[in-house]
């Protein structure tokens, strides 16, 4: 294709014309088409214009090619718009394609002129050649100009019903394009329905594109319920799956993954029809199939034979993915990392395939290493260690570091191997390779934590390397070791002192660690180290600008000076065990990521909401819950990673901690001290008397919490957002004939939002006391302690009347019910809705915020029965503007029963009148803040619809009161 | 769903050609791609996925080109990468080789292809044989025989057109097995894997139905012929022409083949076999003076087979000089650009053992650069032989015109990723 070259060379010459003329002359002699040289940019456009308007077809085509060539190299040729569009009506297909291409690029910058193209589009959509029809409809959708869009509806409608599947499949995609430009238009024109119809098209490619288009639209409009998947449509998709192209198969599988089968039988039958896809040559098809299977498997009972078969079928294709191109290997490995955490049993025998090859790209090596550690178990530890040792002597720094760390993790994970790991690490330290030594020391610190009093004999070797440590993490680790084992290291004071010299140049991590270590040393050997401890305390408290350091310094100082025995208990307290797997993904996030296998989310290990703009508030995907055979709760067996080792406690998760609390906990300070620290921070007075529990009383704390909910993420509202309607809709049938109405419990804080803590609850009024009844469930894998609760200011001054009583730590999968008495004397601020309550709950992990709505009926006090005379007077006295009327529908109580029921919730009937078969009940209510609400309830025998009129001096409460009426009467 | 736009960049990051598929992202964002890559390179880091703000770039490299897909959604990453590779394949079919030059020379066709293979981020037809039927490099007049979309594009059989005619109907099959091996420095086999592939060259008229019979263990168990020699395939992957559900049901491999050359299936076996060529090596480095290398190569297959073109690559430090070799067979070559010695043996019959000795000088000043311990790699091929013992038992060809067709089969075993670590 020699001749093609010429367009490009022409445009290269043009390009050169921008550089100084001198150079041009230099090249000029070599060039043949020298006329382009001398033309200025303006002249070039002018010339092209002339050529585009030439009568000769061939010349025209050449000119368009030149224009496109210029466009390709990034020149602005939009000035030629009308001339190029003039070439659109051509019988030359190649030329037409080029003009269309031009249009797509420049229509947006020339919206007024783009209109000129509409006619040709409409005409081309009716061309006898399907290739042209499809080309027109495809290009049309790429012209993102509002004015044009509406002209395109008719042609699109025709193309969606075209006899040729090639046109239909192109039109299907065009609906998605149009929807992206003008969603309303697409809905108004009924294109969505046509698109849904195409799912039943006879041609598999059309089905696939229709599915893709619908999925795309549904993704950007999560509430549209477009992909209304049901067993019938699923069946159609599964049939098309066998016939369409590899890409179509991916569209369909990804769409299937959004479906939730009704029961385990449907789930199994879908799995059976998806499994053959695991044999597809395209890795992306395989991964999408894996996604569907991983998700639907969740619904299968584990004792089912098929469940085991499926598990076995998943391993080989996953392993084969590692023979794909490196980029696909990377995607596969990131996903296998998730799968191994969710279902370790699938790949537990496949350790060897993750052994690193010399020529693997670094990103593949690092991922393989990660998976190796996850799969490490007693059964394969020897092999793994031999490999890790090999890797630790490679030259690639990142890889070597990770390998050294991996050895440490193996030691912690597989107890039997700890000794071997330690000796391997010591060998590595002997290599004196600087970064290897530093990594080794960091992991040895963890090994000491895990197996106290076992390997301290190596401390001497570690101390030899003190001088070579230049990374903060390694220095901090070494200092920790010296402080922790100060009594066994003869010259501990000298070692620590040597660090003190450059105290202010150290990073915070090292400073904090040094402070703690010297205090530990002092408590162990008080006589010789008094001077040292004073030195470090003064460095920390007087010379440092770092508040964390200063506060910690002060606390130690006070502790030491007031009560050395207590200081000992605090500073030298026994430390909790460290967990085996430090970087497991939190279960709720893991579940969500499993639903996104193959996508960017699964590669980043982040939910889409974390990196896709505008996806906040979009529903998080969840794995389906088990149905069918009714064994209620089952916990996923994430814990028994890779099996092998005997009954082991579930590994706990240390979530990444960015906040203050986390930072503090990360250091080995006992919990009590943490509380002190927090208090000291918030109260800005040191060692305030109220430790731990009594957080509520502190005004500073209240203010701190009060401000926080304003930054509460909007999406948090989603689960609660349904409002009272939702609250009250649930739990029908559980009648409580007398007594106050208590709404059923709802989830206020899903575990996903709170690092594993789930809070559900309700409000009740019992014997005149308002109770917030909470159910705390720990869905994370670590123990939760130190619970406290705080409310933001609210409409009725609700506030906890005492601390949140969670006396025992909340273990993983444990649930605790707590009842929190509330007072109504807290600070007041009007909320919207009125009965909205913003709550902050703290535990040892973090502080979480949520909002909930309480039924206003719990504020109805017991002495709310008004004198009849007063009632009449008040009724008249309140202006009629303040009266509001509501309808309560479908209530089948007679007036007597209604009155009784309402009384249970402190809504008192004062008088009753019957006029023409209609009972009129007059009632009064008194709110905790002294507001009276008067009501007139009309009940007609045989009519399930009540009318209620409310009168109140503060009419904004009427709506809430009405909702209470409705809730009480209907429950 | 997948890509908002696709770019082809040169090594400096300049856009050679691009296509904006969704129009929902600023095309200039791609200018951030190369600076990020450079920064990562400085940190000795690399990732096939880079991010700039809300833009995610998924890229592959082919020769002197980067193919980059840009997205801002939670795209199906596996789909994007496999699509990019498919694009490379399509361009290669069209232009022989995909490189900067071929993009420039064929920019019109490149645009046409980009328009056809993806629409609004959804991959469409990527079968180059079918594409060639309607995207050609000649200009067309619409009235005289402008191409129409072949029915094949949207057919269930989207990989074979109707009306293909040959005078002589034949099918050539190549059964190629690659042996991947990883041996530790202490000489224990860490991993041994056979990756097999069955390639077809189909010269058949019409729409033939083919059925392939292998000595597949699972199939033989179903049909109750356990006694025969069989092969247990760990994982099988098929070309999209093979009916997967049928295979899932009764292990029958039935298909309508694409015309011409294609890979019908691939399979993987983990059965440990004796490494076909075993290497023992001693590499002694005497600092500041010399390196001495002793390599013993042994063929561990039956003597009636012969390995051809055996090449054993032994790593040496990058600063060695004055090479001297002694071999019991074959010839040696020092390849300074690869820092390796290549020992070539044209023909290596089974059950034999050969030796090689090499001697290098080392400079008196040691280089400060750390060198990784590279493995010894081996290349070879053994014709008329499969390690796994897989056999094509039959290939039935049925076409409604009832012609006779001849199937031909060839077996070959070759080295795949064959690495032996050194000390």
Tokens of A404: 């050294």
Contacts of B191 in chain A (CB under 8 A): 352-353, 355
Computed on alpha carbons and rounded to an integer, the radius of gyration of chain B in Å comes to: 26
pLDDT at position B207: 93
Contacts of A93 in chain B (CB under 8 A): 139-142, 146-147
**Mean pLDDT along residues A42-50:** 79
Q: How confident is the model at residue A165 (pLDDT cuts 50, 70, 90)?
A: very high
User: Tokens 């530990």 belong to which residue?
Assistant: A520
Q: What is the pLDDT of residues A101-149, one digit of tens each?
A: 999 888 888 888 888 888 888 999 999 989 999 999 999 888 888 888 8
Contacts of B147 in chain A (CB under 8 A): 93, 131
Write out the H or E segment, with its range, that includes residue B346.
strand B340-349
Adjacency order of strands within the sheet including A746-749: A746-749, A757-766, A769-778, A815-823, A799-800
pLDDT at position A26: 37
Q: How confident is the model at residue A475 (pLDDT cuts 50, 70, 90)?
A: very high
Given a cut of 70, is residue B194 above it in pLDDT?
A: yes
Q: How many CB pairs under 8 A join A and B?
A: 276
Distance of alpha carbon B310 from alpha carbon B330, whole angstroms? 9
Distance of alpha carbon A633 from alpha carbon A626, whole angstroms? 9
Q: Do B237 and A280 touch (CB under 8 A)?
A: yes
Interface contact B373, partner A, CB < 8 A: yes
State the nearest Cα–Cα gap between B29 and chain A, in angstroms: 14
Q: Do A129 and B372 touch (CB under 8 A)?
A: no
Interface subset of B 252-311, CB within 8 angstroms of A: 263, 265-266, 268
Out of B51, B85, B139, the one facing A94 most closely (by C-beta) is B139
Q: How confident is the model at residue A778 (pLDDT cuts 50, 70, 90)?
A: confident
**Mean pLDDT along residues B180-203:** 93
Q: Do A131 and B134 touch (CB under 8 A)?
A: yes
**Mean pLDDT along residues A900-908:** 86
DSSP readout, A807-837?
A: -S-B-TT-EEEEEEEEES-S-B---SSTTEE
pLDDT at position B140: 44
pLDDT at position A617: 54
Q: What is the pLDDT of residues A207-255, one digit of tens each?
A: 999 999 999 998 877 666 777 788 888 999 999 998 889 999 999 999 9
Sign of the Cα torsion A433, A436, A438, A444 reads negative
pLDDT at position A574: 83
DSSP readout, B67-135?
A: EEEEESS--BHHHHHHHHHHHHHHHHHHHSS-SHHHHHHTHHHHHHHHHHHEETTEE----HHHHHHHS
State the nearest Cα–Cα gap between A205 and chain B, in angstroms: 6
Q: What percent of chain B has pLDDT over 90?
A: 71
pLDDT at position A652: 38
Sign of the Cα torsion A149, A152, A154, A158 reads negative
State the ipTM, two decimals: 0.92
| Mean residue pLDDT across chain B | 90
Q: What is the pTM of this model?
A: 0.73
Distance of alpha carbon A968 from alpha carbon A959, whole angstroms? 14
Distance of alpha carbon A685 from alpha carbon A873, whole angstroms? 55
Range ranked top by mean pLDDT from A687-696, A916-925, B23-32: B23-32
Distance of alpha carbon A664 from alpha carbon A156, whole angstroms? 62
Sign of the Cα torsion A246, A248, A254, A256 reads negative
DSSP readout, A525-589?
A: SHHHHHHHHHHHHHHHHHS---HHHHHHHHHHHHHHHH-HHHHHHHHTPPPPPPPS-S-PPPHHH
DSSP readout, A250-276?
A: HHHHHHHTT---SSHHHHHHHHHHHGG
A354 → chain B, closest CA residue: B191
Q: What percent of chain A has pLDDT over 90?
A: 33
Q: What is the pLDDT of residues A485-521, one digit of tens each?
A: 888 888 888 889 888 888 888 999 999 999 999 999 9
Burial class (CB in 10 A: 0-12, 13-18, 19+), B240: buried
Given a cut of 90, is residue B147 above it in pLDDT?
A: no
Weakest-pLDDT range from A119-133, A370-384, A395-409, A836-850 = A836-850
pLDDT at position A849: 85
Q: What is the pLDDT of residues A260-300, one digit of tens each?
A: 898 999 999 999 999 999 999 999 999 999 999 999 999 99
pLDDT at position A500: 87
Burial class (CB in 10 A: 0-12, 13-18, 19+), B408: exposed
Spatial neighbors of A384 by CB under 8 A, at least 6 apart, are A351, A372, A373, A376, A410
Given a cut of 50, is residue A64 above it in pLDDT?
A: yes
B373 → chain A, closest CA residue: A394
In contact, A106 and A70? CB cutoff 8 Å = no
**Mean pLDDT along residues B30-51:** 92
Interface contact B338, partner A, CB < 8 A: no
Q: What percent of chain B has pLDDT over 70?
A: 97
pLDDT at position A627: 58
In contact, A388 and A410? CB cutoff 8 Å = yes
Distance of alpha carbon A830 from alpha carbon A822, whole angstroms? 18
Interface contact B156, partner A, CB < 8 A: yes
Q: What is the pLDDT of residues B103-143, one digit of tens each?
A: 988 888 999 999 999 999 999 999 988 898 888 765 444 44
**CA distances (Å), origin A733, targets A729, A971, B286:** 11, 7, 89
User: Tokens 């279960």 belong to which residue?
Assistant: A587
Task: Enter the DSSP assignment of A304.
Answer: -
pLDDT at position A301: 92
pLDDT at position A918: 83
Q: What is the pLDDT of residues B280-293, one digit of tens each?
A: 999 998 888 899 99
pLDDT at position A829: 81
**Mean pLDDT along residues A589-596:** 94
Q: How confident is the model at residue A582 (pLDDT cuts 50, 70, 90)?
A: low
Weakest-pLDDT range from A180-184, A574-578, A599-603 = A574-578
Given a cut of 80, is residue A399 above it in pLDDT?
A: yes
CA A165 to chain centre: 40
In contact, A155 and A136? CB cutoff 8 Å = yes
Contacts of A247 in chain B (CB under 8 A): 79, 83, 122-124, 126
Q: What is the pLDDT of residues B348-374, one digit of tens each?
A: 999 999 999 999 999 888 777 777 789
Contacts of B146 in chain A (CB under 8 A): 93, 129, 131
Q: Do B81 and A284 touch (CB under 8 A)?
A: yes
Q: How many of the other CB atoms lie within 10 Å of CB of A611?
A: 18
B233 → chain A, closest CA residue: A316
Q: What percent of chain A has pLDDT over 70?
A: 83
Residue B191: phi and psi, rounded to 5, are: -145, 140
Q: What is the pLDDT of residues A645-699, one digit of tens each?
A: 333 333 433 333 333 333 333 334 344 343 433 333 333 333 333 333 333 333 3
B105 → chain A, closest CA residue: A5
pLDDT at position A19: 33
Write out the H or E segment, with its range, that includes residue A616.
none
Q: How confident is the model at residue A43 (pLDDT cuts 50, 70, 90)?
A: low
Q: Do B190 and A355 touch (CB under 8 A)?
A: yes
In contact, A844 and A671? CB cutoff 8 Å = yes
| Mean residue pLDDT across chain A | 80
In contact, A120 and A88? CB cutoff 8 Å = yes
Interface contact B422, partner A, CB < 8 A: no
Q: Do A281 and B248 touch (CB under 8 A)?
A: no
């Amino acid at each position: 294709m020699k001749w093609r070259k010429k367009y490009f060379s022409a445009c290269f010459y043009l390009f050169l014309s921008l550089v100084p003329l001198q150079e041009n002359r230099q090249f000029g002699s070599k060039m043949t088409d020298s006329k382009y040289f001398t033309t200025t940019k303006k002249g070039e456009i002018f010339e092209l214009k002339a050529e585009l308007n030439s009568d000769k077809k061939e010349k025209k085509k050449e000119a368009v090619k030149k224009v496109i060539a210029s466009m390709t190299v990034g020149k602005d040729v939009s000035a030629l718009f009308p001339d190029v569009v003039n070439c659109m009506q051509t019988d030359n297909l190649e030329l037409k394609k080029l003009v269309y291409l031009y249009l797509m690029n420049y229509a947006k910058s020339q919206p007024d002129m783009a209109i000129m193209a509409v006619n040709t589009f409409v005409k081309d959509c009716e061309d006898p050649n399907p290739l042209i029809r499809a080309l027109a409809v495809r290009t049309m959708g790429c012209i993102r100009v509002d004015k044009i869009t509406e002209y395109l509806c008719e042609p699109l409608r025709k193309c969606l019903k075209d006899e040729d599947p090639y046109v239909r499949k192109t039109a299907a995609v065009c609906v998605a394009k149009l929807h992206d430009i003008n969603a309303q238009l697409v809905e108004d024109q009924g294109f969505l329905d046509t698109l849904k119809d195409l799912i039943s098209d006879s041609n598999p490619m059309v089905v696939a594109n229709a599915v893709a288009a619908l999925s795309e639209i549904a993704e950007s409009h999560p509430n549209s319920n477009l992909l209304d998947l049901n067993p019938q449509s699923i069946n159609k998709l599964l049939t098309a799956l066998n016939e369409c192209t590899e890409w179509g198969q991916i569209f369909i599988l990804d769409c299937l993954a959004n479906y939730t089968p009704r029961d385990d039988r449907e789930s199994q039958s879908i799995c059976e029809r998806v499994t053959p896809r695991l044999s597809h040559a395209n890795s992306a098809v395989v991964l999408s199939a894996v996604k569907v299977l991983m998700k639907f498997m969740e619904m299968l009972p584990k004792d089912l034979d098929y469940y085991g078969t499926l598990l076995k079928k998943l391993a080989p294709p996953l392993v084969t993915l590692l023979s794909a191109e490196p980029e696909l290997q990377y995607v596969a490995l990131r996903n296998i990392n998730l799968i191994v955490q969710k279902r370790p049993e699938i790949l537990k025998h496949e350790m060897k395939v993750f052994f690193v090859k010399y020529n693997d790209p670094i990103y593949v090596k690092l991922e393989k290493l990660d998976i190796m550690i996850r799969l490490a178990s007693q059964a394969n530890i020897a092999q793994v260690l031999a490999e890790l040792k090999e890797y630790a002597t490679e030259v690639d720094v990142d890889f070597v570091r990770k390998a050294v760390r991996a050895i440490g993790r193996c030691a912690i994970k597989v107890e039997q191997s700890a000794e071997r790991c330690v000796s391997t690490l010591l060998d590595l330290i002997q290599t004196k390779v600087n970064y290897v030594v530093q990594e080794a020391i960091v992991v040895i610190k963890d090994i000491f934590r895990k197996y106290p009093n076992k390997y301290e004999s190596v401390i001497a070797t570690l101390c030899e390397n003190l001088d070579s440590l230049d990374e903060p993490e390694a220095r901090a680790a070494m200092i920790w070791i010296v402080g922790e084992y100060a009594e066994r290291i003869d010259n501990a004071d000298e070692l620590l002192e040597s660090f003190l010299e450059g105290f202010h140049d150290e990073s915070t991590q090292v400073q904090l660690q040094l402070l703690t270590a010297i205090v530990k040393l002092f408590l162990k050997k008080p006589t010789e180290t008094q001077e040292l401890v004073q030195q470090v305390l003064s460095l920390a408290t007087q010379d440092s600008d770092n508040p964390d350091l200063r506060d910690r310094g002060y606390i130690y100082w006070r502790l030491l000076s007031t009560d050395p025995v207590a200081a000992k208990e605090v500073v030298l307290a026994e430390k909790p065990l460290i967990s085996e797997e430090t970087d497991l993904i939190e279960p709720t996030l893991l579940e969500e990521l499993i639903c996104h296998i193959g996508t960017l989310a699964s590669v980043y290990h982040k939910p889409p909401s974390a990196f896709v703009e505008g996806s906040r508030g979009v529903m998080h995907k969840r794995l389906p819950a088990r149905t069918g055979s009714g064994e209620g709760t089952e916990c996923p067996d994430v814990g028994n990673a890779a099996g092998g080792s005997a009954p082991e406690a579930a590994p706990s998760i240390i979530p990444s901690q960015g906040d203050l609390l986390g930072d503090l906990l990360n250091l080995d300070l006992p919990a009590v001290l943490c509380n002190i620290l927090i208090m000291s921070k918030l109260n800005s007075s040191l060692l305030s008397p109220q430790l731990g529990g009594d957080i509520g009383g502190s005004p500073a704390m209240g203010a701190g919490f009060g401000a926080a909910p304003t930054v509460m993420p909007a999406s948090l509202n989603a689960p609660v957002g349904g409002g009272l309607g939702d609250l009250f809709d649930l739990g029908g049938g559980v009648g409580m004939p007398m007594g106050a109405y208590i709404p059923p419990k709802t989830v206020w804080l899903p575990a996903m939002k709170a690092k594993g803590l789930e809070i559900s609850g309700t409000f009740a009024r019992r014997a005149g006391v308002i109770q917030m009844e909470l159910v705390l469930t720990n869905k994370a894998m670590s123990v939760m302690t130190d619970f406290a609760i705080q409310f933001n200011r609210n409409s009725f001054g609700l506030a906890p009347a005492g601390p949140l009583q969670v006396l025992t730590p909340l273990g993983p999968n444990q649930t605790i019910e707590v009842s929190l008495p509330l007072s109504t004397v807290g600070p007041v601020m009007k909320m919207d809705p009125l009965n909205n309550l913003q709550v902050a709950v703290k535990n040892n992990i973090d502080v979480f915020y949520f909002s909930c709505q309480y039924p206003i009926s719990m504020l109805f006090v017991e002495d709310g029965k008004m004198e009849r005379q007063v009632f009449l007077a008040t009724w008249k006295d309140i202006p009629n503007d303040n009266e509001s009327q509501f309808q309560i529908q479908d209530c089948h109580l007679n007036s007597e029963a209604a009155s009784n029921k309402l009384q249970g919730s402190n809504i008192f009937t004062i008088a009753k009148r019957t006029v023409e078969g209609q009972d009129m009940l007059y009632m009064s209510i008194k709110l905790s803040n002294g507001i009276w609400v008067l009501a007139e309830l009309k009940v007609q025998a045989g009519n399930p619809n009540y009318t209620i009129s409310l009168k109140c001096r503060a009419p904004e409460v009427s709506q809430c009161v009405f909702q209470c009426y409705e809730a009480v009467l209907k429950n | 769903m997948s890509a908002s736009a696709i770019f082809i960049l040169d090594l400096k990051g300049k856009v050679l050609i691009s296509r904006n598929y969704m129009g929902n992202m600023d095309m200039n964002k791609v200018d951030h791609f190369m600076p990020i890559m450079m920064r990562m390179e400085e940190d000795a880091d690399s990732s096939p996925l880079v991010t700039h703000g809300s833009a995610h770039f998924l890229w592959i490299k082919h020769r002197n080109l980067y193919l980059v897909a840009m997205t801002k959604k939670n795209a199906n990453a596996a789909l994007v990468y496999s699509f990019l590779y498919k694009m490379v394949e399509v361009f290669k079919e069209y232009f022989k080789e995909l490189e900067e030059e071929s993009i420039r020379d064929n920019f019109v066709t490149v645009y046409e292809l980009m328009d056809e293979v993806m629409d609004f981020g959804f991959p469409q037809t990527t079968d180059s044989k079918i594409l060639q039927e309607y995207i050609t490099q000649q200009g067309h007049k619409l009235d005289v025989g402008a191409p129409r979309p072949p029915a094949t594009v949207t057919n269930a059989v989207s990989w074979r057109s109707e009306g293909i005619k040959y005078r002589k109907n034949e099918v050539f099959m190549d059964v190629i097995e690659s042996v991947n091996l990883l041996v530790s420095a202490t000489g224990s086999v860490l991993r041994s894997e056979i990756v097999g592939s069955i390639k077809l060259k189909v010269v058949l008229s019409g729409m033939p139905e083919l059925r392939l019979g292998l000595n597949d263990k699972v199939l033989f168990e179903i049909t109750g012929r356990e006694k025969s020699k069989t092969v247990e395939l760990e994982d099988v992957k098929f070309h999209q022409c093979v009916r997967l559900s049928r295979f899932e049901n009764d292990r029958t491999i039935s298909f309508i083949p694409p015309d011409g050359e294609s890979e019908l299936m691939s399979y993987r076996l983990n059965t440990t076999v004796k490494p076909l060529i075993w290497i023992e090596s001693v590499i002694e480095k005497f600092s500041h003076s010399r390196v001495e290398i002793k390599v013993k190569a042994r063929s561990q297959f039956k003597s009636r087979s012969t390995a051809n073109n055996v090449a054993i690559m032994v790593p040496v430090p990058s600063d060695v000089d004055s090479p001297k070799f002694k071999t019991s067979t074959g010839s040696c070559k020092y390849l300074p650009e690869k820092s390796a010695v290549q020992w070539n043996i044209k023909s290596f019959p089974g059950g034999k053992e050969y030796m090689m000795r090499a001697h290098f000088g080392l400079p008196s000043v040691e280089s400060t650069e750390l060198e990784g311990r590279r493995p010894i790699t081996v290349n070879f091929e053994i014709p008329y032989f499969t390690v796994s013992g897989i056999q094509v038992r039959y290939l039935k060809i049925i076409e409604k015109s009832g012609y006779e067709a001849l199937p031909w089969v060839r077996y070959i075993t070759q080295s795949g990723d064959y690495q032996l670590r050194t000390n």
